[in-house]
Amino acid sequence: MPCLTCWWPPAPRTPRQKTSKEVVNSIFTPIFLKSNPINPEIVNRRSNAVTVRRQIVIIKSIRHRIRSGVKNLTSVLLNISAFVRPMAWRNMASFLSFWKFRNTSQQRRTGEVKLGTHTIQSHGTTLAWNHCYDWLILLLLAVIEVVVYVTGPFHRFVGKDMMTDLKYPMKDNTVPVWSVPMYAVLLPIAIFLLFYIRRKDVYDLHHGILGLLFAVLITAVITDSIKNAVGRPRPDFFYRCFPDGKDLYDVWGGVVCHGEHGVIKEGHKSFPSGHTSWSFAGLGFLSLYLSGKLKVFDRRGHVAKLCIVFFPLLVASLIGVSRVNDYWHHWQDVFAGGVLGLAVAAFCYRQFFPPPYDDEGWGPYAYFQALKESSANTDTFHETNVQNVQAAEIEIVNQQAGQHDVAAFYFNRNLSPTLDEMELGKR
């Protein structure tokens, strides 16, 4: 279909009003030409002036087009930045989170992290309150131990023929009874306090003390319960029963003791050894604790660490040997007491701590759980900050883009009449 507007005649141009200078030139120019013939130099000068004007118009038009191109390029770049900046923040946030996880994992593989942030003042009360039922059970175990200790043992039948192995002399304890809680309970607690002073980790201190007390009290209840149930005579039972050395038997061949009641009662508590079970419970727990703290099983081959770990077990073994040498126990009693105490200590230790050969064996489970919760809260806070920053950046970019669009609108509106006039040759 042919274009109808192309054949439409153009609108007539309104004649421009001449200035006073142009009027004067129109009057005097013919007179000047009549009096003076046409000078070629003047004609060439006028043609050159017209050419210069046309060049100025072309240059202004090119400058305007360049400005409009720069404006369009700027708007394009702003629009691209509106999308790129949030992506950059998002990538930066993901990179920081990855770097944070990488550093944390490396620190956990190499050693302790964030020590000194969980102290008695900051987390002690909350931690003790969370384990209030455990402490109540400890009190209950202590009461049960007192009741079982006071309860008399079973008086096993002891005949005349059995007295051959029960005529060892009575001796005092090489290791007094009052010293057992000192080295089996207070000494490990003192070492726990030293580690707390160095690391400021209340989880380690609390769970170390709680696990140790559980190990010792459970061992004590089991040991005394078996003592009362078995009622095995001690190696020095003959002189407990007959202090003067004159034995007396009934018609069935059983002993008729005439010694002190308390001494005879204690003579029926041979199996298992209480000293040995308490020693291996307390010092065995300490040995496991030290093996985790010193990272004995870190595959580096430092045998000196094993010497430190084996020392508490050596002390417990020597205490068990002293019980045989004092003729208070048979060797079977000592062996059973050692196995019992060490087994209970291992179970109680594993209740609160990872295995000593684990990479995280240097700290309790509760400590690493607290780290995970703290890390999760930090990551959540970080993601929230990143989202807020992204939203703020997008809003700023949108405001800047709006300002540029408004400025471009007013610039184009002010420039369009000038451009039209330049194209029409009016300027």
The answer to whether position 151 is within a domain reads yes
The answer on 106 and 121 residing in a single domain is: no
Q: How confident is the model at residue 97 (pLDDT cuts 50, 70, 90)?
A: very low
The answer on 339 and 393 residing in a single domain is: no
pLDDT of residue 13: 54
The answer on 133 and 108 residing in a single domain is: no
Q: How many CB atoms within 10 Å of residue 272?
A: 28
Q: How confident is the model at residue 16 (pLDDT cuts 50, 70, 90)?
A: low
Is the pLDDT assigned to residue 407 strictly greater than 70? no
Residue where one domain finishes, among candidates 362, 388, 409: 362
- From 34-48, 162-176, 216-230, 364-378, the region with the lowest mean pLDDT: 34-48
pLDDT of residue 110: 39
The answer on 417 and 286 residing in a single domain is: no
pLDDT of residue 365: 79
The answer on 268 and 189 residing in a single domain is: yes
Q: What residue numbers bound the domain in which 278 lies?
A: 116-362
Residue where one domain finishes, among candidates 318, 335, 362: 362
Residue where one domain finishes, among candidates 334, 362, 390: 362
The answer on 315 and 223 residing in a single domain is: yes
User: Which residues form the catalytic set?
Assistant: 275, 329
Which candidate, 187, 190, 191, 184, places its Cα nearest to that of 219?
184
The answer to whether position 19 is within a domain reads no
Taking residues 400-407, report their average pLDDT.
Answer: 52
Is the pLDDT assigned to residue 270 strictly greater than 70? yes
Q: How confident is the model at residue 418 (pLDDT cuts 50, 70, 90)?
A: low
Is the pLDDT assigned to residue 27 strictly greater than 70? no
**Whole-number Cα distances in Å, 183 to 190, 216, 312, 325:** 10, 12, 10, 20
The answer on 212 and 318 residing in a single domain is: yes
Is the pLDDT assigned to residue 323 strictly greater than 80? yes
The answer to whether position 102 is within a domain reads yes
Is the pLDDT assigned to residue 28 strictly greater than 70? no
Residue of higher predicted confidence among 294 and 382: 294
Q: How confident is the model at residue 349 (pLDDT cuts 50, 70, 90)?
A: very high
The answer on 262 and 279 residing in a single domain is: yes
Ranges of H-type helices in 111-201:
125-130, 132-150, 180-181, 187-199
The answer to whether position 28 is within a domain reads no
* CB contact at 8 A, 87 and 386: no
The answer on 140 and 72 residing in a single domain is: no
The answer to whether position 38 is within a domain reads no
Is the pLDDT assigned to residue 302 strictly greater than 90? no
Q: How many domains does the chain have?
A: 2
Cα 258 to Cα 160: distance, rounded to the nearest angstrom: 15
Cα 92 to Cα 283: distance, rounded to the nearest angstrom: 51
Q: How many CB atoms within 10 Å of residue 379?
A: 13
The answer to whether position 34 is within a domain reads no
The answer on 120 and 97 residing in a single domain is: no
Q: How confident is the model at residue 249 (pLDDT cuts 50, 70, 90)?
A: confident
The answer on 130 and 90 residing in a single domain is: no
Q: How many CB atoms within 10 Å of residue 6?
A: 6
The answer on 313 and 164 residing in a single domain is: yes
Average pLDDT over the chain reads: 76
Is the pLDDT assigned to residue 379 strictly greater than 60? no
Burial 326-345 (b: 16+ CB within 10 A, else e): bbbbbeebbbbbbebbbbbb
pLDDT of residue 227: 94
